[in-house]
Structure 1
Amino acid sequence: MSDNAPGGADGPTRGIELTPEHPPERVADLAALAEDEGFDIAFASSHYFNRDPFVVLSQMADATEEIRLGPGVVNPYETHPVKLAAQTATIDEISGGRGVFGVGAGDRSSLSNLGVERDSPLRRVLETFDIARDLWDGETVTHEGTFIARDAALNLEPPSEAIPVYVGAQGPHMLRMSAKHADGVLVNAAHPKDLEWSAEQVAQGLADRPEERGAFESLAFASVSVAADESDAREAARPPVAFIVGGAAEPVLERHDIDREAASAVSEALEQGDLPEAFGRVTPAMIDAFCIAGTTATVADRFAAALEYVDGIVVGSPLGPDLEDAVVRASDALDRAVEDG
């Protein structure tokens, strides 16, 4: 585990994803609650249709004292990589050195809505955080690769000695690249089958990791829905699972024996913008494959299974039908998973 990583000797890293579909004040309150419940790191998710993650992170910083904070995850297509480095450095500054940089290639369908071509994703992500590290170190950067920067520098110095970089990844090449070059990976998966496969890819990348890069941690960036009632938790899981199914690669669907016609029906409804139809088409098998959903006890068991393959868990959207209750229950489930592990 990296020296700059949020976890430590007390056990697995405990992360949470907070989605700015809610007003910044509410997300900040949830971050404060997560800190009180023992979470190590809070990510603000980034989608063009929600509130700006960096604005929300600034309020999260004001509401908290110790929890690490960062975007989870931004992409270097909607925003220039140099600007992302400056925004992340600003969060590190205002939080007193608690910043992290969650970066990934972005969702292809969302980017296509903006007329953005997601070309050379692996190279662009790697170049993005390489340049960010140089900028955070006070260097003036000239770069011509998947993007251009000429004599670019930041007019601020982040207090962290090194802001940890976490790469959002799902495919084999991005997973391996993350393990070779980043401080951590956010594995976009919730099921042990996917996490086991991902761990094999990470291991390949770690075999080529330069010694000077230091330690590395792998976190499951898992869709989670927890509630007192299992059916309520599973019902709340439908929206995120629909979007996961809509973007799932064929090998992933095969791994879980997801019916192709059922998956196509979800995808087609999403493409047509018919969200109620898409959510209604989500099957129990899809929820089982792509979300950790159920009561505190059920979720604890699934967390324990996931921790066989990763160094920690980021409790991701939707959290549950009642957000505040879900934060507390997720923390309890993590405690139980560690105790039983």
Structure 2
Amino acid sequence: MVTTGVVFRPEQPPEELRAAVERAEAAGVGELWFWEDCFRNGGLTAATSALAWSERLHVGIGLLPVPLRNPALAAMEIATLARMFPGRLTVTVGHGVLDWMRQVGAGVDSPMTLLREHTTAVRDLLRGETVTVSGRYVSLDAVALDWPPAEPPRLLVGARGPKTIELAAEVADGVLLDTVTDPDVVRRARELVGDAQVYAFAPLAPDSSAEQISARVGELAGAGADAVIVHGTDQAPGMPEDLSVFE
């Protein structure tokens, strides 16, 4: 059965978040997702608030740009959330928008190398391993978390191109395809990742009917998506008006 969820897009001001969380919780929505766009809402702070303001919502972050955080710090933050709210968190990491990364002085010559090194380090730290690595971008000397989660949260890699999709299957639990508009994108990803998880973001206008939403979810699930997460459009970033289909 396909997992469904909705996104609180970062174009929406943070003071509107609590009402959105309470609305999603009351409607029985399975998953509420956030992403981190420069220079808007922080993904980890939004996720923490949503978890604290709800009892059963599963919260996803998609995605955290790896150039912005040391992997040890990222693992510390993720582990803290995973321990406080066990079984209710999925985290995605990715390149981030490269122009934004350069804008804040965090651009790198090889984003793929950074993504591989960062994701591998975060994954291993969350598993409770002691990590020593001297890579091109990541350097850790016998680093281990004092409080690793008993069960690490699902870790995804955000991707569009085939090389990053393949990397997702290699170093993480699966891939998050952002802004999917074509089922063929999902089919190609499914072929590349094998048994790994395929999550798909799907843009739909907030006033889309339940029938339209169900049809879109079914279309992407039929193409191989394990989860379909619906979000508003650039012109209308709000959550769907009808949340009944996300129970």
1:313 to 228, 232, 238: 228
State the TM-score, normalized to the length of structure 1.
0.64
Kindly tell me: are residues 322 and 152 of structure 1, through their superposed partners in 2, closer, same or farther at Cα, counting changes over 3 Å? closer
1:168 corresponds to 2:83: no
Q: 1:221 aligns with which of 176, 201, 206?
A: 201
* Distance 1:32-1:166 versus aligned 2 partners, 3 A rule: farther
Secondary structure of 1:42's partner? strand
1:204 equivalenced with 2:192 (yes/no): yes
Q: Which structure has the highest helix share of the two?
A: 1
CA distance in 2 between partners of 1:41 and 1:13 (Å): 8
> Unpaired segments of 5 or more residues in structure 1?
1-10, 207-214, 228-293, 336-341
Q: In the alignment, which residue of structure 2 is the partner of 1:139?
A: 129
Q: What is the correspondence of 1:120-131 to structure 2 with a 5 Å cutoff?
A: 120-131=110-121
Q: 1:117 to 1:322 in 2, by over 3 A?
A: closer
* Match of residue 30 from structure 2: 40
2-structure distance, mates of 1:24, 1:314: 20
Which piece of structure 1 moves more, 82-91 or 197-206? 197-206
Alpha-carbon distance in structure 1 between the residues aligned to 2:62 and 2:165? 16
Cα deviation for residue 308 of structure 1 reads 1.9
Greater RCO (CA < 8 Å, at least 6 residues apart): 2
User: RMSD of aligned C-alpha atoms?
Assistant: 2.6
Give the TM-score normalised by structure 2: 0.86
Q: Runs of 4 or more off by more than 4 Å in structure 1?
A: 319-322
Any conservation in 1 of the 2:203–2:230 contact (CA below 8 Å)?
yes
One of 83, 87, 93 as aligned partner of 2:83: 93
Larger relative strand fraction: 2
Alignment of 1:145-156 (within 5 A): 145=135, 146-156=137-147
For 1:180-199, list aligned pairs within 5 A.
180-192=170-182, 195-199=183-187
| Per-residue CA distance 1:47-93 (angstroms, 9 max, x = gap) | 23112221222211111122222421001101112211111112212
In the alignment, structure 2 segments of 5+ residues that lack a partner are none
The farther-off stretch of 90-99 and 78-87 is 90-99
**Percent identity, aligned pairs only?**
24
Cα distance in 2 for partners of 1:328, 1:40 equals 16
The CA distance in 1 between the partners of 2:66 and 2:214, in whole Å, is 35
Equivalent residues, number? 245
| Cα separation, 1, equivalents of 2:124 and 2:216 | 39
**Amino acid of the structure 1 residue aligned with 2:187:** A
Q: State whether residues 166 and 182 of structure 1, in contact with CA within 8 Å, keep that contact through their aligned partners in structure 2.
A: yes
Q: Is the 8 A contact 1:88 1:100 kept in 2?
A: no
Which of residues 94, 101, 109 in structure 1 aligns to 2:99? Answer: 109
CA distance in 2, matches of 1:63, 1:327: 20
Greater Cα radius of gyration, structure 1 or 2: 1
CA distance in 1 between counterparts of 2:63 and 2:237 reads 23
